[in-house]
Structure 1
Amino acid sequence: MFLFTFPSFFAKLRYKGSIIAAIVAWVMMYGCFELGAHTGVNGFIYAVLPFHGFCFTFFFVSGQLYENEKALARLRNSAQGLISFATYGVGKYLGMLIAGNVLDRYTVQNAHNWVSVWIVPFVMAAIVLVGFSLLFRENGKTLKIDIPVGIEDKNTNFFL
């Protein structure tokens, strides 16, 4: 559903607004997990499903579009590969290490303290929201690199 509605939202929100909306949904998603753990109400857990779809669509699609606009044409495939490696490789690995440590920290005698477990990603997402809102400049300067004539494109792609 969110993939189909994304273009109309993106036309109004652009990159920064779309990514901020995704991070806000991310904070709300972890807040619902925490509230569900705290109150025992399953409705909070079910509410997470649409938030996840919204987060994924708005965050990753906006990021891919931004990269496609900013990268040099001959480097777009490499940039897409780097984003995939960072998110689905390094990011997933580090996320699993952090999540495992958080779960271990809030587990006593095989009983998990889910309220404390879900507060950690909630706070982390809130910090990312504030940091991104303050630091991201959508209309920042684009780096222009002049490549001397005669250098083959295939030899310079790796270093750009």
Structure 2
Amino acid sequence: MQKWFFLFAFPLIFIKLRYKGSIIAAIVAWMLMYGSFALGAHTGKTGFIYAVLPLHGFCFTFFFVAGQLYVDEKAPSSLRNAAQGLIAFATYGVGKYLGTLVAGNVVDQYTTQGVHDWVSVWTVPFVMAVIILVGFVSLFRENLNTGSETGNT
């Protein structure tokens, strides 16, 4: 349900945040999600877990939709279909496959005699999101003058 809300709200918020701001907001929301999961596991309070579940829709919309729009804007018109296919393959195919492998290994690493250390399990993606945020903020340069480059006015 929350994905639909954020999909409809996205265009209004995107006008202000643009690409970099939208993706940063999504990564920060992932940090809040994983941090809350770790905090919920640490305290035993399920309220932390339920409170941040709507953030999943926000993360999905602001990360994936902004990324797809960015690729669509930057790719030459003759390559747009291929570029969209490549980003879908990278995120929904390879990315999800590698994410599953990493997540499985993290859970295995923090499981002893069948007991999961959920605080550690959720801390790993939290730390990964922090690292990704720092890298993204440092390396991504959004050219706000893209209309003239792509022939759009």
TM-score (norm 2): 0.89
Superposition RMSD in Å: 1.5
How big is each residue's C-alpha offset from its partner over 1:16-59, in whole Å with a ceiling of 9 and x where there is no partner? 00110010001001011101100111111112211101000000
Larger Rg: 1
Alpha-carbon separation, structure 1, partners of 2:9 and 2:145: 30
Partner of 1:4: 8
- Is 1:133 the counterpart of 2:137? The answer is yes
The Cα shift of 1:2 comes to: 0.8
Count of residues paired in the alignment: 143
Match among 80, 83, 88 for residue 84 of structure 2: 80
Q: Paired residue for 1:70?
A: 74
3-state DSSP class of the match of 1:139? coil
Q: Partner amino acid for 1:127?
A: I
* Equivalent in 13, 24, 28 of residue 28 of structure 2: 24
* 2:108 matches 1:89: no
Query: Structure 1 CA distance, aligned partners of 2:126 and 2:107?
Result: 14
* Cα distance in 2 for residues equivalent to 1:73 and 1:136: 22
State the identity as a percent. Answer: 75
The aligned residue for residue 55 of structure 1 is 59
1:89, CA displacement in angstroms? 1.1
| Off by >3 Å, runs of 4+ in structure 1 | none
User: AA paired with 1:122?
Assistant: F
Q: Does 1:116 pair with 2:97?
A: no
Aligned residue number for residue 14 of structure 1:
18
Which string of whole-angstrom CA distances, capped at 9 and with x for unpartnered residues, describes residues 78-125 of structure 1? 011101111111111111111111111100010000001000000000
State the Cα distance separating 1:140 from its structure 2 match: 8.2
Distance 1:47 1:76 in 2: 38
1:38 to 16, 38, 42: 42
Q: Distance in 2 between matches of 1:50 and 1:90?
A: 25
- The CA distance in 2 between the partners of 1:88 and 1:10, in whole Å, is 22
- Name structure 1 gaps, 5 residues minimum: 145-160
Distance in 1 (CA, whole Å) between partners of 2:20 and 2:131 is 16
SS of 1:137 mapped into structure 2: coil
Give unpaired runs (5+ residues) of structure 2: none
